[in-house]
Amino acid sequence: MDIHFTLNGEPVRWEVAPGETLLEALRAHSFYGVKDGCSTGDCGACAVIVDGNPRNSCVMFAFQVQGRTVLTIEGIGNPDKLHPIQQAFLDLGAAQCGYCTPGMIVTAKALLDRVPDPTPDQIREALSSTLCRCTGYVKPAEAVMQAAKVLKGDGHGAKNPR
Amino acid sequence: MEPRILGKGVSKVDGVKLVTGRGGFTDDFAIPGMLYARTLPSPHAHARILRIDASKARALQGVRAVLTHEDVPRIPFTTAGQGYPEPSPYDSVLLDRKVRFVGDRVAAVAADTLAIAERALSLIDVEYEPLPALFDPEKAMEPDAPKVHDEKDTTGIHDRTRNLAASVEAQVGNVEQGFAAADLILERTYRVPHVQQVPLEPHICISYLDEDGRLVIRTSTQVPFHCRRTVARILGLPVGRIRIIKPRVGGGFGAKQEILLEDICGALTLAAKRPVRLAMTREEEFSRSRTRHPQVIRLKTGVTKEGKLTANEMTVVANTGAYGGHALTVQCCTGSKPLSLYKCPHVKYQAHAVYTNLAVAGAYRGYGCPQGYFAVESQMDELAQALQLDPIEIRKRNMVGLGDSLPMAEVLGEGKEGFHQKIESCGLSTCIEKGAHAIGWSEKRGKPGRGPILRGVGAACLMQGSAIPGVDMGSAYIKINDDGSFNLQVGATDLGGGSDTIFAQITAEVLGISPEQVVVYSSDTDLTPFDKGAYASSTIYITGGAVKKVAELIGEQIVKVASGLLSRNQSDLRFNDGSVVAPDGASVTLAQVAQHSFYTQDQFQIQATASHMSYACPPPFAAQFAEVEVDAGTGLVRVVKFVTAVDCGKVLNPPLAEGQIEGAVAQGLGYALTEELRFDEKGRIVNPNFTDYKIFTARDMPEMKTILVETHEPTGPFGAKSVAEIGINGPAPAVANAVFDALGIRFLELPITPEKILKALKERAPQEAIA
């Protein structure tokens, strides 16, 4: 079946199988930033933003994004122009193995789009949809806070602020 | 001279690709014609395969290869990725006539799609003869217990008639004498469960034949070189016909110090002559990967009334599950490290690692130490309580320090005798002081409040090691390029902890350049020199030592060329910001040196290689502190604050060092409170998913504080020792001790669940007249 949707700002038409998950479809089209950690919607490594809301793409069928807007890590920033959340993850050492990092950044983006001035608790609540086994969530939570400041314009995005 | 780059929070060299989702993990790669493989798991905990018929599976359209035990040679090996000869029994074969745990591999299929492979598995007809299963490790050595390994062709099993995979015994002094000298003897039995490493990326590999017919395996491994050697043995290929490539790894923590997929995936590629991808599902990761060894630990300690230890005797029964990889060495470490932290004239250690028909244990961050420290550090608190000493005070009266030897480490190496160890750097007393201050020890200790939320603080002291002395070796190669950049090639295996970045920092420090000038390529058995792999807290200490040596060799070659170009003495020249500079200001850039050496005169490639190993194994030290709130109504323990003060020698990259501690603490808190693989009466895991096996989420984490207490380790690169594992050792005892401070109840069994707390409160209730 054919689906039409907006992916990272571009209109696309993909042929997908009826039972194909959005995760499978994205990876089949080389969107490798979307990771498979459990296939059951529990770990958040496959998170993408659908119409502004974070969604686990492993428990959505690809056809469900027909006519909708999807944002993946690839659409948030790129090596030449990092998004402030990506820059903060880089500067603070918030990515260790990096497997859950795209999911965390996507989740953080969805949070900051809705709540530009989050409390530490709101950040932890949002990040709790992504499982990480490397960082203890300490530096990711700090990075989201720093990115929020940069996005509001009252941070300097200073490299290695320590 | 003050380091320019080491000690700074240099961003990870692979950071940009990780934060943009371009990490290049094993699965982020497609080869035309690639097949998808699945393996058939055993439904039985213990059974013999009487008959296996794969003809229907083979006939299915799209199936390109099917393998059962009838199709492959029987070559015993160990899945443990360790130095050769491995100190683990050769008790596994590629596919066996017998299955030994639920999930054991029965057959494998490669097909055009995953769906066809799944369908093919369902068409394999297997007739099993179920055998009595062994689930209780404490009954494993009894004469009438089922025999998990009754086959005759395995080697290295300590005593197959008693299900003994491995056995360890070591003694320093004479414990009988020590107990006779004690004023107080305390004996307790501790129990620790099956827990798992849970890397977010499940095991995966992709294998293919290159244009020369060599087998290439792209795999998420911690041990590329051990993997190559083991796969060569299993598949009957020369080592030189195999290439292992480790791309980015999505976490390992010991689970990937095993050869679990590469053998069968390679066999399918050889059979189908096609690229094959084989990955574990999350459920398989829980049921068929590896776990931390569950142990029953009996600890008997003698102490004088002044609180000085006179004797320590630890006896362990460890459950290694169906196979015995790491059974010997993990149990060695349970004894050698936790029993070395405190000075004690008489120490005895005995461990039996027994087979059962349950999940297979192996390497997991801490490698036997989290089990041992839970016992030792709980016991120290109880001794302090009995002697009416502050728990910190009793530790201070006994802990090792600068100049002390570690006699247990000497008699108990990893699988054989160790080497003499003397402590040449130790910041433990500073760690205790700073950590106690940060948690508010003196203000908060012994003030539980009146409920229903009761508060407590608890402490634990730890040490670990840095690499396996006399065994682990790492090596590095550097060459210069035209523009004065350098290629650094290391066999070492960055799992995310940041070793590639630290190596770039070390190279940059020595050669006076920025880390961006160093192109790091790691873990490819064709293109990088040998390395033991990522385990035993060894990478920075061992391979970092090799990188420092090779960078210095390169420096000498550069200086020689520059000396000719500048007509100055070699001994006067210094590296500075990409140039070689003489005292009078004359200078030449590294690019000019490179171009001169390539093109102008006496042409040669500036290049060098170096190796490093160590007979010293300097321990990092740490003090960890937990503050908890226990809800007496629900039994729930909430960790409010957690402090780690750690001495890892010179800190080469502070954020990366902190990250190692923070991640280890999160895992250790799971061990303390929430994590446990549970089995039904047939040996099946009932919680093989993230809903029922609870790892800590962002919301569960306490306020965290990590204090880096710097020392200088003379045997380490730039004064560094390890930091990767130590942080996982303390959360369980620190939390148990804090729970005791809150409730006055001691928990000897992990995890400390609300059910256990409520049960203990209920049992105590009559005395307290709670209605």
B142, two tokens: 């009894």
Query: Distance from B537 to chain A by nearest Cα, in Å?
Result: 15
| Nearest-by-Cβ selection for A128 from B496, B663, B697 | B697
Which residue's entry shows tokens 């006539």? B97
d(CA B53, CA B55): 6
| Nearest-by-Cβ selection for B496 from A97, A127, A136 | A97
pLDDT over 70 for what percent of chain B?
Answer: 99
Q: Which residues from chain B sit within 8 angstroms of residue A89, using beta carbons?
A: 15, 19
On whether any CB of chain B is under 8 Å from the CB of A109, the answer is: no
pLDDT at B770 over 60: no
Tell if the CB–CB gap between A124 and B665 is shorter than 8 Å. no
Residue B415: per-residue pLDDT = 77
- Which residue in B has a C-alpha nearest to residue A134's C-alpha? B663
DSSP B542: I
pLDDT at A157 over 50: no
Q: Which of residues 171-230 of B touch A (CB under 8 A)?
A: 197-202
Residue B1: per-residue pLDDT = 67
pLDDT at B742 over 60: yes
d(CA A103, CA B232): 37
d(CA B373, CA B622): 12
- Per-residue exposure over B671-682, b if at least 16 CB sit within 10 Å of its own CB, e if not: bbbbbbbebeee
Which residues, 6 or more positions from B45, have their beta carbon under 8 angstroms from its beta carbon? B100, B101, B102, B133, B135, B357, B358, B682, B683, B684
What interhelical angle do B544-566 and B590-599 show, nearest 10?
80
Residue A31: per-residue pLDDT = 97
Q: What is the mean pLDDT of residues B616-631?
A: 98
d(CA B484, CA B162): 62
Helix locations, A93-137, DSSP H = 101-114, 120-127
| CATH architecture for residues B295-468+616-768 | 2-Layer Sandwich (3.30)
What interhelical angle do B654-673 and A138-152 show, nearest 10?
120
Residue B30: per-residue pLDDT = 86
On whether any CB of chain A is under 8 Å from the CB of B62, the answer is: no
On whether any CB of chain A is under 8 Å from the CB of B32, the answer is: no
On whether any CB of chain A is under 8 Å from the CB of B662, the answer is: yes
B76, two tokens: 């015993």
Single-letter amino acid code for the residue at B695? I
pLDDT at A161 over 50: no
Q: Which residues from chain A sit within 8 angstroms of residue B690, using beta carbons?
A: 38, 40, 42-43, 131
Tell if the CB–CB gap between B22 and A137 is shorter than 8 Å. no
- Which residue in B has a C-alpha nearest to residue A125's C-alpha? B699
Q: Which residues from chain A sit within 8 angstroms of residue B253, using beta carbons?
A: 133
Residue B767: per-residue pLDDT = 59
d(CA B15, CA A110): 22
Closest CA to B665 of B435, B503, B445, B414: B435
| In chain B, where the domains are located | 35-131+200-251+256-288, 295-468+616-768, 473-613
Predicted confidence (pLDDT) per residue in B339-367, tens digit = 999 999 999 999 999 999 999 999 999 99
d(CA B642, CA A125): 19
Q: Which residues from chain B sit within 8 angstroms of residue A77, using beta carbons?
A: 19-20
Backbone phi, psi, residue B545, to 5°? -65, -40
Predicted confidence (pLDDT) per residue in B154-180, tens digit = 999 999 999 999 999 999 999 999 999
Cβ pair B733, B709 in contact under 8 A: no
Predicted confidence (pLDDT) per residue in B7-64, tens digit = 999 999 999 999 999 979 999 988 999 999 999 999 999 999 999 999 999 999 999 9
Query: Distance from A73 to chain B by nearest Cα, in Å?
Result: 6
Tell if the CB–CB gap between B199 and A138 is shorter than 8 Å. no
Q: Which residues from chain A sit within 8 angstroms of residue B11, using beta carbons?
A: 90-91, 93, 159-160
Cβ pair B387, B303 in contact under 8 A: yes
Q: Which fold has domain B35-131+200-251+256-288?
A: Aldehyde Oxidoreductase; domain 3 (3.90.1170)
Four-point Cα dihedral B210, B212, B213, B215, nearest 10: -50
User: Residue B36 CB: number of other CB atoms within 10 A?
Assistant: 20
pLDDT tier, A158 (very low <50, low <70, confident <90, very high otherwise): very low
Predicted confidence (pLDDT) per residue in B749-769, tens digit = 999 999 999 999 999 876 554
DSSP string, B197-262: ---SS--EEEEEE-TTS-EEEEE--S-HHHHHHHHHHHHT--GGGEEEE--B-S--TTTTSB-SSH
Closest CA to A46 of A67, A28, A72, A68: A72
d(CA B739, CA B458): 8
Residue B418: per-residue pLDDT = 86
- Which residue in B has a C-alpha nearest to residue A36's C-alpha? B201
d(CA B408, CA B463): 13
Single-letter amino acid code for the residue at B135? F
For the domain covering A84-152, report its CATH number: 1.10.150.120
User: Residue B635 CB: number of other CB atoms within 10 A?
Assistant: 18
Q: Which residues from chain B sit within 8 angstroms of residue A90, using beta carbons?
A: 11-12, 15-16, 19
On whether any CB of chain A is under 8 Å from the CB of B114, the answer is: no
d(CA B226, CA A162): 39
| In chain A, where the domains are located | 2-76, 84-152
| Nearest-by-Cβ selection for B689 from A27, A42, A79 | A42
Q: What is the mean pLDDT of residues B202-207?
A: 98
Q: What is the mean pLDDT of residues B281-288?
A: 98
Residue B340: per-residue pLDDT = 97
On whether any CB of chain B is under 8 Å from the CB of A141, the answer is: yes
Predicted confidence (pLDDT) per residue in A43-84, tens digit = 999 999 999 999 999 999 999 999 999 999 999 999 999 999
Q: Which of residues 227-286 of B touch A (CB under 8 A)?
A: 248-251, 253, 281-282
Tell if the CB–CB gap between A39 and B655 is shorter than 8 Å. no
| CATH architecture for residues A2-76 | Roll (3.10)
DSSP B405: B
| Nearest-by-Cβ selection for B698 from A34, A36, A128 | A128
Helix locations, B244-368, DSSP H = 262-272, 282-288, 327-336
Average pLDDT, rounded, for chain A: 95
Q: Is residue B76 helix, strand or coil?
A: coil
Q: Which of residues 676-715 of B touch A (CB under 8 A)?
A: 689-691, 695-701, 704, 706
| Nearest-by-Cβ selection for B200 from A32, A82, A99 | A99
| Nearest-by-Cβ selection for A97 from B249, B667, B698 | B249
Segment among B221-225, B408-412, B505-509 with least mean pLDDT? B408-412
Was domain B473-613 assigned CATH 3.30.365.10? yes
Are B295-468+616-768 and B473-613 in the same CATH fold? yes
Q: What is the mean pLDDT of residues A27-42?
A: 97
Four-point Cα dihedral B735, B737, B739, B744, nearest 10: 170
Query: Distance from A7 to chain B by nearest Cα, in Å?
Result: 16
B714, two tokens: 């003379």
Predicted confidence (pLDDT) per residue in B564-602, tens digit = 999 999 999 999 999 999 999 999 999 999 999 999 999
Cα A97 from chain centroid?
16
Q: Which residues from chain B sit within 8 angstroms of residue A95, using beta carbons?
A: 12, 15, 18-19, 496
The percent of chain A in helix, strand and coil, each rounded to the nearest 5, is 40, 15, 45
pLDDT tier, B632 (very low <50, low <70, confident <90, very high otherwise): very high
Which residues, 6 or more positions from B567, have their beta carbon under 8 angstroms from its beta carbon? none
A76, two tokens: 């948030």
On whether any CB of chain A is under 8 Å from the CB of B373, the answer is: no
Closest CA to B445 of B218, B231, B625, B632: B625
Average pLDDT, rounded, for chain B: 97
d(CA A34, CA B23): 11
Tell if the CB–CB gap between B11 and A159 is shorter than 8 Å. yes
Closest CA to B126 of B149, B93, B92, B99: B99
Q: Which residues from chain B sit within 8 angstroms of residue A135, using beta carbons?
A: 659, 662-663, 666
| Nearest-by-Cβ selection for A127 from B656, B667, B698 | B698
